């Protein structure tokens, strides 16, 4: 009965239709699944890529920082870091416990720190070798080198400074990801860090990269090397000398800058105390009132503008000058000058005469002249944080008292780099160069602005020589045997932040100078902040200059320009007043001392050395006379103080080597 029922035509048709429908549905599902799994579907393809593909950022090698000789100052070393996938670590209690013990915490505390939505996190960066040994003992790294699922050791680079603390403030530092934080590392960070590349990578079942695309869309570019103008050997010696000087003078801090005057390259820049993490180079970021070191620049500007001649005299008011009911006095109460020349003004460092010179120039020419030396604007070194200092902007509003104090380096603010740059223009013959911490190429073109006539630079240098060679010069301790030194001391008062007035106990002692006539012109600045006890620059900053110059000439093999100094017999006052010189003993000096010395030396070359004659040294200082007489190796007796007004033997007399010479001095 049942078989008969299913064999009826109507039922067979219905069954066929049902089978056909299910067949079509099955075929459709098969086609769809084939399409989705084999041919293409954007959503599933995206999900698959997320599971088995990833992007890896490949970081370039950071560029090196080198000194001028190619000696590395900052390099890269490979190191290991501990990283992992929080999502996978949280799925394994064993892995979580191992990692917690390795990091010195509890599984519960670590679990709270981990984000289950993240697939990557750093746990410990730049792991040391002894720490890696601990990881092995704790089971983070197994004997076969494998690690628990979700934890990796990542190889990366760290920044290393092979010379330790040398030039740390200048070179700067980087963060854990080797991005510049300060100094040259920050200044040149874009060039040093290079360009990263993003590449596709395929992961295995544990989420580890196994295959990396060898053709990334963006090309990785390693960072460029930076070659500084600094000489690491000289830098080390200068820093040692600076630290010794700070300790000896009990100063709060100090600074030394050594510059190649011809092209502006900084050969050494030391500041102390110096430590990794100091965020500024104080030579460009901090300003100060320069004090007496400004006087030679004022003189050079006045000479250049024709306001005064080097042989001209100004009145010293016997030590006190009253302007607008305020009294300007000399640094030492016993210094009471009448009419003195510009050269002597620099030698004795007269505040009163320097003030007189500024008043003679006037506000407009004074400010213009100082701006021509670069004061009031940045030097062009381009390091972050450089300040322009401060100069009066409206010359018509400058009061006479303010103008007078500018004459001896107060009421303005400059940076140490601006000062050494200005002095370099005296050293190189009158050109203002753009300072640089990057070594210049052999054919590199750089700014070299003429600011002084050659004669003005020469006369200013001649005056500066008197500071170290003159009888009453304040820079005798800056001398270096075999070199003629031009330089100036500066002992400047600083403003007390509480009273807003000049402090009577806190000073900045500085010396800026250069050897005269050397083939490689070098300018050196030494500065000590708040030396205690004996604080005068002639006793603190000047000896430091001498030490640094010795290191410079030794390092760069700079030949001497002077013969070995013959020590003078100690000067003693004559027991009786010296007779007034007769007319025949007095000469009118129409030439500069340097010209007289040069002519005296030339005359010794022209005569028969077997029968030489005595040159005239009247009108010179004892030191200048000694240089003129050196070819004869004399024995010298000096009586009195001041310039030579009488000599024995007289000029023109026949002399022989080892002769006895007597020089009578008088103001």
Sequential DSSP letters for 370-402: HHHTTTTS--S---TT----B--S-GGG--HHH
Pick from 86-90, 217-221, 321-325, 559-563: least confident: 217-221
Band of pLDDT at residue 395, cut at 50, 70 and 90: confident
- DSSP letter, residue 447: -
Are the beta carbons of 410 and 490 closer than 8 angstroms?
no
- Which tens digits make up the pLDDT trace of 123-177? 989 988 888 888 888 888 888 888 888 888 888 889 999 998 899 989 999 998 8
Query: Within 10 Å of residue 183's Cβ, how many Cβ atoms?
Result: 27
Buried b (16+ CB within 10 A) or exposed e, 157-179: bbbebebeebbbbbbbbbeeebe
Cross-strand partners of 487: 513
**Average of per-residue pLDDT across 232-258:** 95
- Res 608 pLDDT > 90: no
Pick from 20-34, 244-258, 387-401, 556-570: least confident: 556-570
Q: How far from 300 is each of 53, 377, 388, 453, CA to CA, in Å?
A: 72, 19, 22, 9
Q: Taken in order 408, 413, 419, 422, is the CA torsion positive or negative? A: negative
Tell me, what's the pLDDT at 641? 60
Closest CA to 207 of 88, 75, 339: 88
Which token pair is 270? 């030391």
- If phi > 0 it is left, if psi is from -120 to 50 it is alpha, else beta; for residue 349 that is left
**Average of per-residue pLDDT across 353-380:** 95
Tell me the whole-structure pTM to 2 decimals.
Answer: 0.73
* CA 453 – CA 43 distance, rounded (Å): 79
Query: Within 10 Å of residue 1's Cβ, how many Cβ atoms?
Result: 4
- Which tens digits make up the pLDDT trace of 20-36? 888 888 888 887 777 66
Share of the chain above pLDDT 90, in %: 46
Mean pLDDT of the chain: 83
Band of pLDDT at residue 505, cut at 50, 70 and 90: confident
- Res 623 pLDDT > 90: no
Closest CA to 251 of 550, 539, 667: 539
DSSP-derived secondary structure for 277-320: T----HHHH--B--GGGGHHHHHHHHHHTTS--TT-EEE-GGGE
Tell me, what's the pLDDT at 627? 67
């Amino acid at each position: 009965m049942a078989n008969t029922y299913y064999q009826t035509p109507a039922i067979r048709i219905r069954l066929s239709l049902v089978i056909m429908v299910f067949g079509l549905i099955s075929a459709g599902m098969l086609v769809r699944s084939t399409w989705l799994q084999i041919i293409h579907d954007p959503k599933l393809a995206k999900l698959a890529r997320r599971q088995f593909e990833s992007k890896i950022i490949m970081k370039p090698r950071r560029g090196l920082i080198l000194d001028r000789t190619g000696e590395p100052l900052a390099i890269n070393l490979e190191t290991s870091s501990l990283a992992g996938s929080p999502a996978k670590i949280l799925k394994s209690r064993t892995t979580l416990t191992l990692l917690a013990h390795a990091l010195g915490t509890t599984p519960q505390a670590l679990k709270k720190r981990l984000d289950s939505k993240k697939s990557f996190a750093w746990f410990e960066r730049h792991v040391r070798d002894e720490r890696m040994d601990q990881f092995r003992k704790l089971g983070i790294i197994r004997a076969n080198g494998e690690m628990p699922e979700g934890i990796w050791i990542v190889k990366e680079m760290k920044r290393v400074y092979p010379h330790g603390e040398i030039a740390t403030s200048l070179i700067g530092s980087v963060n854990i990801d080797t991005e510049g934080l300060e100094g040259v590392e920050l200044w040149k960070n874009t060039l040093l860090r290079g360009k990263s590349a993003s590449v596709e990578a395929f992961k295995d079942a544990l989420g580890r990269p196994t295959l990396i695309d060898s053709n990334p869309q963006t090309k990785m570019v390693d960072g460029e090397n930076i070659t500084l103008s600094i000489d690491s050997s000289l830098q080390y010696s200068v820093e040692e000398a600076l630290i010794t000087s700070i300790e000896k003078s009990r100063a709060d801090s100090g600074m030394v800058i050594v510059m190649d005057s011809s092209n502006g390259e900084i050969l050494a820049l030391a500041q102390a105390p110096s430590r990794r993490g100091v965020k500024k180079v104080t030579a460009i970021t901090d300003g100060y009132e320069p004090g007496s070191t400004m006087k030679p620049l004022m003189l050079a500007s006045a000479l250049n503008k024709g306001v005064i001649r080097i042989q001209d005299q100004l009145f010293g008011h016997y030590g006190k000058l009253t302007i607008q009911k305020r009294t300007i006095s000399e640094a030492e109460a016993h210094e009471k000058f009448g009419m003195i020349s510009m050269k002597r003004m620099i030698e004795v460092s007269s505040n009163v005469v320097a003030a007189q010179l500024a008043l003679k120039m006037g506000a407009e020419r004074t400010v213009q002249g100082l701006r021509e030396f670069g004061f009031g604007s940045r030097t062009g070194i381009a390091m972050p944080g450089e300040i322009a200092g401060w100069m009066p902007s409206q010359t018509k509003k400058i009061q006479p008292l303010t103008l007078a104090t500018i004459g001896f380096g107060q009421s303005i603010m400059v940076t140490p780099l601006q000062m050494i740059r200005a002095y370099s223009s005296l050293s190189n013959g009158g050109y203002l160069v753009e300072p640089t911490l990057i070594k210049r190429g052999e054919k590199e073109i750089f700014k070299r602005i003429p600011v002084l006539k050659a004669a003005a630079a020469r006369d200013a240098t001649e005056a500066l020589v008197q500071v170290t060679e003159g009888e009453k010069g304040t820079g005798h301790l800056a001398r270096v045997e075999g070199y003629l030194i031009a330089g100036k001391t500066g002992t400047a008062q600083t403003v007390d932040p509480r009273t807003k007035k000049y402090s009577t106990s806190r000073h900045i002692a500085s010396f800026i100078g250069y050897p005269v006539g050397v083939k490689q012109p070098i300018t050196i600045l030494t500065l000590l902040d708040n030396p205690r006890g004996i604080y005068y620059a002639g006793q603190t900053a000047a000896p430091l200059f001498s030490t640094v110059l010795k290191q410079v000439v030794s390092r760069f093999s700079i030949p001497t320009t002077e013969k070995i100094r013959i020590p003078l017999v100690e000067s003693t006052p004559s027991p009786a007043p010296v007779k007034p010189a007769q007319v025949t003993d007095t000469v009118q000096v129409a030439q500069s001392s340097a010209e007289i010395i040069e002519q005296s030396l030339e005359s010794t070359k022209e005569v028969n050395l077997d029968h030489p004659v005595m040159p005239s040294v009247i009108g010179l200082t004892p030191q200048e006379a000694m240089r003129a007489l050196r070819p004869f190796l004399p024995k010298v007796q000096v009586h009195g103080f001041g310039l030579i007004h009488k000599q024995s033997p007289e000029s023109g007399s026949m002399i022989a080597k080892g002769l006895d010479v007597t020089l009578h001095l008088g103001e």
